[in-house]
Structure 1
Amino acid sequence: MLRSLSVRDVLLIDALDLEFGAGLNVLTGETGAGKSILLDALGFVLGWRGRADIVRQGAEAGEVVAEFELGADHPARAILAAADLPVGDELLLRRVNSTDGRKRGFVNDRRVSAEVLRSLSDVLVELHGQHDDRGLLDPKGHRTLLDAFGDTDAMRAKVRAAWRALAEAEKALAARRTALDAAARDAEYLRHAAKELADLSPEPGEEEDLDARRRLMQAAEKIAVDVAKADQALGFEGAEGRISDAMRWLEDAAGRAEGGLDAAIEALGRALVELGEAQGAVADFGESLRYDAHELERVEERLFAIRGLARKHNVLPDDLPGLADDFAARVADLEGGEADIAGLAKARDTARAQYEAEAAALTAARAEAAAGLDAAMAAELAPLKLERAVFETVLSEAEPGPEGVDGVTFTVATNPGAPAGPLNKIASGGELSRFLLALKVCLTRGMSGLTMIFDEIDRGVGGATADAVGRRLASVATGAQVLVVTHSPQVAALGAHHFRVAKSETDGVTTTRVAPLEADERVDEIARMLAGDVITDEARSAAKVLLKG
């Protein structure tokens, strides 16, 4: 609910502070007094696109502040939280426009963009008038309005979930078909490459091992000669024999050396042990140099095959085992592709059937809601002197999507037998106002937290019809807040709060003032609306009768 509006230096307003209440708030005044300026100011603070230059002449900047009261479940709370803005029971919007054209917006004293202000305005305020092309008259929004009337949220959630599941199933099937088509084009190559890799069966690190063996075998003949010489030098004819002789001689002398040779004998013993290990290692290596005459050829043949295959596939030799697994998987994928396609197609068909079932249920619910809305509209049109008019909610087939398969259009026929058509194409100005009002009454039952503004929606009607319009506006305002800009005394008399808009001139400067009216002032204002500039006693008496209801 809009609690207050403060305006400084905007258009013809120098300073204005207004407090609004729940229920029906009416704004009256002579033509040209500036009632639209007040709506311009409110639209400015809400981030609406409007007049480019709203700063009052002679001022440096214009500023508008609007304070709203938020209920515990008001949708504005979610928008504030998503924008990381303070959330509470009070919401303060402020926007400043400098003379250089710069605009700055604030929410609860935090700087925000006009985008955030507009997002908040969508859940804070609704503006309706005869030329309401962004609201009830826009066919693009009729399905949403019908869904709100029929309370189809749960069913639409099921349809959206089924649509997502269908989209995912179709995407998976298309992707599998694309992959299978690509694989089929390369089927012969894939099978050949997979077989070639499988036949060779390379292992990680094998190329390095083969290369080392090849180099060893190539140098084996020269190495064998040196190894044989070393083996002979270490053997009994060489180092082993001489150390053994030295040890035997020392042991013979040890008995007479009083222990002086013990350390030497122990060291030679250790040397013989180490020498034995060296001889064994040399002998083992020498044995390894003995290979089949064809083994070098076999090693080179496999080494060159591995390297050639790596070059062919432009990978490192150690990557060949992984590449072999990949090709084998792709061949298996190709051979099992048709079965996969059949499974995915079945899943797609199941998802489509589920979507169609959920969409059909939603269509049925919308048809029921449409009948209910048409009946409610018929009940509302009669008091508005449109008892001969027919309102019909038309459902049509639409392109399937996350919101179902239905198109929704509100149509009217103003007289029996007359062709039906869109609201804004068929109804005259006065009729259109009443159609919009009746529709709003039907659609807002049970809603709360939204401030609705009706800008001269009663234009073109008078007398009993104007009284009916006023009573319907009061009905909409029950448990809610409605602001009405009106020229109708019948409507103004039904307001719970009454404000008068007036224009004055001082020292050549024109300003617009807005003031709340007390009981006596309301009598005079409504009398003026009835009689004109000269307020008669008869007009005052008539005004009092209207105010008594």
Structure 2
Amino acid sequence: MLRALDIRDMLIIDRLELTFQPGLNALTGETGAGKSILLDSLGFVLGWRGRAELVRQGAAQGEVVAEFELPEGHPAHAILEEAGLPGGQELILRRINTAEGRKTAWINDRRCSGEVLRALSETLIELHGQHDDRGLLNPRGHRAMLDAYTGAGPYISDVRLAWSGMSRARKALAQTESALAAMRAEEEFLRHSVAELDKLDPQPGEDADLDARRRMMQGAERIRDDVARAFDLLSGDGAEGKMVDAMRWLEGVSDTAGGQLEDPIAALARALVELGEAQDGVNACLQVLDFNPAELEDAEERLFAIRALARKHDVAPDDLGTFAETLRDRLNRLEAGDADLADQRAAVAEAQVLYDTAAAALSSARQKAAGRLDVAVMAELAPLKMERAVFQTEITPADPGPEGGDAVAFTVATNPGAPSGPLNKIASGGELSRFLLALKVCLTGEDSARTMIFDEIDRGVGGATADAVGRRLASLAQGGQVLVVTHSPQVAARAAHHWRVQKHVTGGQTLSTVIPLADPDRVDEIARMVAGDTITDEARAAARALLDA
């Protein structure tokens, strides 16, 4: 709840410190005294969008500090934790606005954004009045209010879970359909390419082998004659024959040479062995060089085919085999795609059934709660002198989502048989205030986490109706905190705490201030509200009667 509000140099307030209490707090004063400025200042520190020029004329900057008490489990704790801001039982908001329009905010002495302020404000303050577009008059929030009244949390959890599952199933199906559509668009290409690669069947390293063989065969005719002549010189009548003859002649005279020829003969024997190896190698080369010209044509044709296919698919020749497997896998997945699609479509249908079931259960709970809410609000309208009015919670189909497929709107008809419509379009000022109050009484329940502010919600009513408004505001404030800006003496008399807002002129400058009222002063203030500027004994007696009622 709101504990304190410190305002400096805002509009016609130079310095104001207020300390609020639990229960019903009433702010009264003459029209134009500055009551709306208090709400503007509070809205400013909460990050609400309001007046553009708030700084008091002649001041360098305006500043507002608001202090809140946060009980354990208050939803503001989660927002502070998510934003990385310090928490605790005490929450201090501070915001300044320079004369040039620059705004800066702090939460517990830590800089923060206006976005975080506004998120916090949703958990701290509820503002209700004829121009309230943040609360009960905003149709976008009606479904959440009905759900809170319904206690629909478990139903919504089931719907969100089913929606999440259905979304995942639909996403998986869409991805499979997209992938299959892309593959079907290239199915002809896949089949042709796989057949082409399978027919050629390129092997790793084959490109280099074919290239070497081609080069060798291309040069074979040129070098074969030289290699053959060399082979002739090495064998037969060539070097081999001459060496054999020389060795035979030397061996014939070796015995008479006194051992002088043993080493030469041994060297010739070794040379003949080496010569034989050379002959074998040269002969092997001749065998390789002895090729059919068709072999060269075949090698070139296959080499060119492999390289052309590699260029076509933009891969290295040695990677063609792996690439073929990739294409074959895509083709297999395409052929198995219909089975996958059938399974995924079945999964989507099953998820849809689960979602529809959960959404129907939530919708049924809302329908039942809407009937109870309508009866409760109608019961509240009678004491507020609106027994002929009709309140109805309309539930209509909407686009399905994570919180079901219902649109909720609170509608009213001010007289039986009259057409119903949105709260802010059908009801007059005074009627609207009473509708809002009756609805709020029914919707609040045990929730007292937020401070409720009612801005002249009693406008246009008086007498017994104003007294009924005051009693319901006092009832709402039990266990919580309600601030009411009022011109009604019946409402002010029901307050546990009372402040008077008044203007005064100092040094030629008009300023506004707020004065807490003790019991004697309350009598005079309520008497003023009853009688006007001239307070009579009769007015004071009437004020005492209201306070004692």
The TM tier, using the shorter chain, reads 0.7 to 0.9
Amino acid at match of 1:438: A
How far the C-alpha of 1:152 sits from its partner, in A, is 1.3
Alignment of 1:338-417 (within 5 A): 338-417=338-417
| Aligned counterparts of 1:504 and 1:201: Cα–Cα separation in 2 | 101
Number of the residue aligned with 2:265? none
Once the two structures are superposed, the pairs formed by residues 128-527 of structure 1 within 5 Å of their partners are 128-219=128-219, 294-527=294-527
The AA in structure 2 aligned to 1:49 is R
Q: Secondary structure at the match of 2:194?
A: helix
C-alpha separation in 2, matches of 1:105 and 1:443:
32
1:381-428 superposed Cα distances (whole Å, 9 cap, x missing partner): 222222232211111111222221111111223233333322222222
Aligned to 2:19: 19
CA deviation string 1:130-173 (max 9, x = no partner): 23233212222211111111121222222223223323333333
Assess, with a 3 A threshold, how the Cα gap between structure 1 residues 380 and 226 changes in structure 2: closer, same or farther: farther
| Aligned residue identity for 1:180 | L
Distance 1:87 1:392 in 2: 41
Report matched runs for 1:2-13 at 5 Å. Answer: 2-13=2-13
Residue 284 of structure 1: CA displacement?
7.7
Equivalent-residue separation in structure 1 for 2:223 and 2:12 (angstroms): 109
Q: How many pairs are equivalent?
A: 538
CA–CA distance in 2 between the matches of 1:29 and 1:277? 125
Q: CA deviation at 1:12?
A: 0.5
Aligned residue identity for 1:364: S
Q: 1:150 to 1:284 in 2, by over 3 A?
A: farther
* CA gap 1:444/1:212 in 2 versus in 1, 3 angstroms: farther
How far apart, CA to CA, are the structure 2 residues paired with 1:372 and 1:529?
38
Deviation readout 1:55-99 (Å, 9 max, x if unpaired): 111111111111111122222222222222222221111111111
Q: Percent identity?
A: 63
Residue 183 of structure 1 aligns to which amino acid in structure 2? M
Distance 1:281 1:43 in 2: 102
Closer/same/farther in 2, CA of residues 217 and 458 from structure 1, 3 Å limit? same
- What does residue range 45-194 of structure 1 map to in structure 2 within 5 Å? 45-194=45-194
Residues 284 and 436 of structure 1, relative CA distance in 2, 3 Å threshold: farther
TM-score (norm 2): 0.87
CA deviations 1:99-143 (Å, max 9, x no partner) are 112111122222222222212112211111023233212222211
CA offset digits 1:353-374 (Å, max 9, x no partner): 1111111111111112112211
1-structure distance, mates of 2:276, 2:99? 104
1:260-305, CA deviations, whole angstroms, 9 ceiling, x for partnerless residues?
xxxxxxxxxx999999999998888787767676544433222111
Letter in structure 2 aligned against 1:157: S
Unmatched runs of 5 consecutive residues or more in structure 1: 257-269
Q: 1:542 aligned to 2:542?
A: yes
Q: Distance in 2 between matches of 1:476 and 1:14?
A: 33
SS of 1:397 mapped into structure 2: strand
TM-score of the superposed pair, with normalisation by structure 1: 0.87
Q: Report the Cα distance in structure 2 between the residues aligned to 1:425 and 1:118, rounded to whole angstroms.
A: 27
Q: Separation in 2 of the partners of 1:403 and 1:368?
A: 17
* AA in 2 matched with 1:16: L
Q: Per-residue deviation at 1:14?
A: 0.4
> Can you give the 5+ residue segments of structure 2 that lack an aligned partner in the other structure?
260-269
Out of 357-366 and 71-80, give the one that drifted further: 71-80
CA distance in 1, matches of 2:210, 2:309: 15
CA RMSD of superposed structures (Å): 3.6
The offset of 1:461, in angstroms, is: 0.9
Q: What is the CA distance between 1:234 and its match in structure 2?
A: 11
How far apart are the structure 2 equivalents of 1:154 and 1:276? 97
CA distance in 1, matches of 2:19, 2:276: 110
- Residues 425, 100 of structure 1: CA spacing in aligned structure 2 closer, same or farther, 3 A cutoff? closer
Describe the SS at the equivalent of 2:484. Answer: strand
Q: Which amino acid aligns with 2:318?
A: D
C-alpha distance in 1, partners of 2:413/2:234?
A: 121
What's the counterpart of residue 32 of structure 1?
A: 32
Instruction: State the match for 1:265 in structure 2.
Output: none
Cα separation, 2, equivalents of 1:142 and 1:201: 70
Compared CA separation, residues 158 and 201, structure 1 to 2 (3 A): farther
* Distance across 2 between alignment mates of 1:293 and 1:377: 105
In the aligned structure 2, how far is the partner of 1:397 from the partner of 1:125? 31
Tell me the secondary structure at the aligned position of residue 487 of structure 1.
coil
1:307 partner letter = R
State the 1:468 CA deviation. 0.9
CA distance in 2 between counterparts of 1:274 and 1:54 reads 111
Residues 316 and 538 (structure 1 numbering): CA distance in 2 closer, same or farther, change over 3 Å?
same
User: Following the alignment from structure 2 to structure 1, what is the Cα–Cα distance between the partners of residues 378 and 111?
Assistant: 47
Q: Which moved more, 1:169-178 or 1:121-130?
A: 169-178
CA distance in 2, matches of 1:276, 1:490: 133
